[in-house]
Amino acid sequence: MLRPTPTQTERIFGDDEIIVSKTDTKGRILYANDVFCRVGQYAERELIGQPHSILRHPDMPRCVFQLLWDVITDGREIFAYVKNLAKSGDYYWVLAHVTPSYDKAGRIEGYHSNRRRPDAAAIRQIAPLYQALLEEERRHADRKQGQAAGVALLQKLLADRGQSYDEFVFALAT
């Protein structure tokens, strides 16, 4: 599937709406609710089986997704601010809550994500941070080195604040 060209148009969804998806352990979409489809501008049939990264906006630093995957594959939940890309190229921000799903034997079989509309004040704080992380990643010709540099910068910024990632996210959410 071709990636859309990003626009500067923001898509908004209601404070009372929740975007829901379920994926397998590789991040392929198994379920997408109607809010997900409407806000992302995809038909359900276009999403099922696709990697969740179909929504990855180029303004999102890779290091944030590395953090997210490191946490959920370790069996923990995470909250993260994510800028997504709709099928039209429009964007929308979410506060994602991603949790592992387990089979009867206690093994991770996939992931469940609920996403709410974040507070505008939180986005005004997170957007410049993400821009700085993205710039750090792009300073490196090698993508893996860039991603590692982004992780290191994020860890340094959090250490300078005396906060864990979770503390940082929750402080923005209040």
With CA atoms as reference, report the closest residue to 129 among 79, 29, 61, 73.
61
Could you list the residue range(s) of the whole structural domain that residue 138 is in?
19-173
Kindly state the average pLDDT of the residues 51-56. 95
| 12 has pLDDT over 80 | yes
Average pLDDT over residues 72-83: 97
Residue 12 within a domain = no
* pLDDT tops 90 at residue 24: yes
37 vs 120: CA distance, rounded Å: 22
Residues 59-63: what's their mean pLDDT? 96
In a domain, 141, yes or no: yes
Split at pLDDT 50, 70, 90, the class of 44 is very high
CA–CA distance, 1 with 15 (Å, rounded to integer): 30
> Quick check: is 11 in a domain?
no
Tokens 């340094």, residue? Answer: 156
137-156 mean pLDDT: 96
* Mean confidence (pLDDT) of the chain: 96
Task: Find the mean pLDDT for residues 38-50.
Answer: 97
Q: What is the DSSP string of 30-55?
A: EEE-HHHHHHHT--HHHHTTSBGGGG
- Within a domain: residue 153? yes
Looking at residue 132, which CATH number applies to its domain?
A: 3.30.450.20
Domain presence at residue 147:
yes
**Within-domain flag for 1:** no
**Would residue 3 count as lying in a domain?**
no
Q: Quick one: pLDDT band at residue 111, thresholds 50, 70, 90?
A: very high
pLDDT at 1: 62
Task: Give mean pLDDT, residues 96-111.
Answer: 97
Number of domains in the chain: 1
Q: How far apart, in Å, do the first and last CA atoms of the chain sit?
A: 37
**Does 5 reside within a domain?**
no
